């Protein structure tokens, strides 16, 4: 059973960099028709896709965040990471990492981490 | 970006009811449409992928249909654990986008 777990500071000061790591267990991050993604959800609001990374290192980002986001992967640790620079209160949200499964003729987010709340303080 | 519009934004129903949630995309996305359930304080859970394929382990009372721009999620025989928020999501193009959600509440 694949499991994902987010980790990182729960409190970040405005203008600084938010850094989170997602650790994948129960399977290799490099195997299969999978890639890896970050999604966030402000309190009481909907879901926003941040970006994705293939194990080749190729990435795609949401244009709304592209200038501030970097997603990277460390296959030796079975982890992938998110960095978001110059954060503001608008970046306060629960951040989820998820696996993207493209094996069914479609790409869907089939496994999710439990989510981690990141609060941006002034 | 492809805009995803869900309706209704909320609905009240009783255990045993059959309900339908609609999702419309701002452009044709073929069958690249997924549905998720989110219970309070929990991560979303994949229910339906490719518009109509049931994710492994998901009860058969959940079903999806549609293609092009119009999609539906149907729950036949609501159970107490089904009271949650449901999101559609398109996987046709980047950036991936979600609907705003439909909250299913107990009547």
Q: Could you give the C-alpha distances from A20 to A5, A23, A39, B78, in angstroms and in order? A: 10, 10, 12, 37
**Can you tell me whether residue A91 is helix, strand or coil?**
helix
Q: Identify the DSSP state of B57.
A: T
Cα-only R_g, chain A: 14
Inter-chain CB proximity A110 and B32 less than 8 Å:
no
Inter-chain CB proximity B32 and A47 less than 8 Å:
no
Facing residues of B33 across strands? B90
Distance (Å) from the alpha carbon of B101 to chain A's nearest alpha carbon: 7
Q: What are phi and psi of A31, to 5 degrees?
A: -95, 155
Interchain CB contact of B35 with A (< 8 Å): no
| pLDDT of A55 strictly over 90 | no
Quote the percentage of chain A above a pLDDT of 90.
Answer: 88
Facing residues of B86 across strands? B37, B102
pLDDT in tens, A87-112: 999 999 999 999 999 876 789 999 99
User: What's the pLDDT at A103?
Assistant: 79
């Amino acid at each position: 059973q694949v499991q994902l777990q987010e980790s990182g500071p729960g409190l970040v000061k405005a203008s600084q960099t938010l850094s989170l790591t997602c650790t994948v267990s129960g399977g290799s991050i490099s195997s299969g028709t999978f890639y890896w993604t970050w999604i966030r959800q402000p309190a009481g609001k909907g879901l926003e896709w941040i970006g994705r990374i293939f194990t080749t290192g190729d990435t795609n980002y949401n244009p709304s965040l592209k200038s501030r986001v970097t997603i990277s992967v460390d296959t030796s640790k079975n982890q992938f990471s998110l960095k978001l620079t110059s954060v503001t209160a608008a970046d306060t949200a629960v951040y989820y990492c998820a696996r993207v499964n493209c094996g069914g003729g479609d790409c869907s987010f089939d496994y999710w981490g439990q989510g981690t709340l990141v609060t941006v303080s002034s | 970006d492809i805009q995803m519009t869900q309706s209704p934004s909320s609905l009240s129903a009783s255990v045993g009811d059959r309900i339908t949630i609609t999702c419309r995309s701002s452009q044709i996305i073929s069958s690249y449409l997924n549905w998720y359930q989110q219970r309070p304080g929990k991560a979303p859970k994949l229910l339906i992928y490719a518009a109509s394929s049931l994710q492994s382990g998901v009860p058969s009372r959940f079903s999806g249909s549609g293609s092009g721009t119009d999609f539906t999620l149907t729950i036949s025989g609501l159970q107490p654990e089904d009271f949650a928020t449901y999101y559609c999501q398109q996987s046709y193009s980047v950036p991936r986008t979600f609907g705003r959600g439909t909250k299913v509440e107990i009547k």
